[in-house]
Structure formats: structure tokens, C-alpha cells
Amino acid sequence: MTGYPESLTDPSYSGQILVFTYPLIGNYGIPKFQRDDSAKSIQDGFESGRIQVRGVIISNYSFEYSHFDAAQSLDQWLMDNDIPGIYGVDTRELTKVLRTTGVMLGKITTEIDENVFNVIDPNETNLANEVCVKEPVIYSPKNKDTKKKILLIDCGVKNNIIRNFLKRGAEVIRVPHDYNPVNSQHEFNGIFVSNGPGDPKMCKAAIENLKNSFDLNVPIFGICLGSQILGLSAGADTYKLKFGHRSQNQPCIEIGGHCYITSQNHGYAVDTKTLPDEWSEWFINNNDGTNEGVKHKTKPFFAVQFHPESSPGPNDTGWLFNMFIDLI
């Protein structure tokens, strides 16, 4: 029912057309938005400084909107940012197709010709390189005396991940996806590998750099794409899911622990059969049994496939940020 401004600006959706299954979209408008490609500011209500999706498909669009924080309509926001959208589509029927045949390539077009089926597969490019910062950006918490510094490997990080670290009093040093922590000119106490779009195997530099970072013996935490990159750095393999995991209600079970309701958006997973002996599976998806988290048996290296920072979604697993902060 809510969350479309966050979803549309989530870098993990870069290169994708987003289908909203909730039948009414646009009814509460869009908050005031200032495009910021430098990523120096973190705007409330948005997960990055620009719209990340390539297109939007809606069932019923509400041209009339009402909300105390609204500054413009969803329609105007999309037009101002040159993002195509279409409404009047039976999105629940379309979802049934996607849930039967799997995620597929698509195009929104006004013309039917011989080029209509020439669709570029975004997963064949390094999308993380398109959505990450190009130069280091430092975010300081209100407590300027903090001694906890996190090197954030940006593969398409959501703003709320940075907010969670700042709220817990840590300084965040946001660096490009191919940044090498071993040769860093910045001091840090822990490494975080962010979420992001596309095939994790395209992030070759990030995988190799993180593998070399294991010898630094500092805590390492990954989320979503970061979990896949950590798995690949450990020596495991990843594979493409037929359907992927989307939405804000995915149940995940901690091995030997509780079941949590989580927010998710990913199309790849770690193959736990290929995990080295010193690593173990940490979480599994209760719907299909696929991996949702890995951790090292003796060292402070761990990652989850879901989004504990939410935005949108439940906050049930926010304790993972506390766990990481405590370790550093």
C-alpha cells in the first residue's frame, strides 16, 4: 500500500521495469525531491538521489493525491525524470505470468515493429558500476567523537543503510564498488558490502578485493548483493533464481533460531553446496529453501540476503546492525 518512492529510488532496481501489484498507486503523491547524483545528501523518503527503475507498470493510477508531505504527483515526478510509465494494466495477471515463467525481459513502447523484441539484458553489464559513487563520500554522525568507522563498499547502497549506521553513532566512508580496502587511505574498523543490482559475478573487482580483505581481520557485513559477493569471495558459487525474491513479506528462518518477516529484492542466490568448510549457512527462505545468509565459523564475517534496513518493509531484523556495530 505504501513505499513506492523508496522502491523507485532503490538502486537494486536499476535496469528493471517495476510492476506494482497493489491496485492503487499514486494516491499519496511524492515528497519534495532534489536530484543529487553526488550522493552527499541523504533525503528522507528516498533511497538514492535519483529514480533508478527504467519503467513503471500500474493497475489503477490515482491522479488525485493527498498527503501532508506531498509536493508533487507520481506522474509529474516520473515525467520530470524521463521515466516511462503505463497504467490500466492488469498487474495481478501480469504477476501470475512472471510467477509462472520467471523474471523476463520487457519493454514499454508505443510502437510495434521489428525492433520491439530487441531488449538489452541489464544483467550482462556491471550495473553496480553505474549506481555507485565515483569518489569517496564521508558521512559523520551527530556524535563527532565516534571511534567506529565503517568502510562502505558501494554497489548501489540504499540510503536507509547509511541512516542505520549513523543512528548508531558510526562514521561511514562510502567508496566505489571496486575500491580496495587493503590499500585504503582511510582508517576503518569494519567493512560493509552493500546491496545493488545485477549479476554478482559482474563485480569481479569487488569480489577479489573483498577476498584479499579477509586478512585484515576486521568485521565484514554484507546485505543482498553484498551477501552474494561475500559468498563468491569465500569461494562459493552463485546462481540466478527463476523468480527472484521481491516484496516486504518474505519469511526467513535463522538456522536454530527464529523466523523473521523480511523485505527483499534480489534475483540471485548463493549455492550453499559450494560453501567452503569454514563457512556455514545462516538463514534460509521459508518459501523455497534458498539461502538467505552466510557466516564464517570462526571469524566476524557474515551477510544476509534480505534487507534489515527495510524502507519499505518490516524492521524485524534491525538487530543485525547492532550486532555489526558491537563487533567493531
Q: Which of 224, 245, 266, 296 is catalytic?
A: 224
Q: How do the pLDDT tens digits run along the chain, 328 residues long? A: 788 999 999 999 998 999 998 989 999 999 999 998 888 889 999 999 999 999 999 999 999 999 999 999 999 999 999 999 999 999 999 999 998 998 889 889 888 877 777 888 888 889 999 999 999 999 999 876 678 999 999 999 999 999 999 999 999 999 999 999 999 999 999 999 999 999 999 999 999 999 999 999 999 999 999 999 999 999 999 999 988 898 889 999 999 999 999 999 899 999 999 999 999 999 999 999 999 999 999 999 999 999 999 988 889 999 999 999 999 9
End-to-end alpha carbon distance in the chain: 37
CB 295 within 8 A of CB 279: yes
Domains of the chain, CATH where assigned: 4-120 (3.50.30.20), 127-327 (3.40.50.880)
Q: Which of 204, 205, 209 is nearest to 182 (CA)?
A: 209
* Number of Cβ atoms within 10 Å of the Cβ of 301: 24
**Cα–Cα dist 263/248, whole Å:** 4
Catalytic residue among 6, 47, 292, 309: 309
88 grid coordinates: 490500466
Alpha-carbon distance values, 251 to 15, 99, 152, 243, 314 (Å):
26, 18, 27, 16, 11
Specify whether 307 is catalytic.
yes
8-state DSSP, 307 = B
Q: What is the rounded CA–CA span in Å between residue 245 and residue 165?
A: 25
- What sign does the CA torsion over 218, 224, 230, 236 have? positive
Q: What 3 state SS string does 271-289 have? A: EHHHCCCCEEEEEEECCCC
Task: State the pLDDT at residue 226.
Answer: 97
The residue from 177, 245, 296, 307 that is catalytic is 307
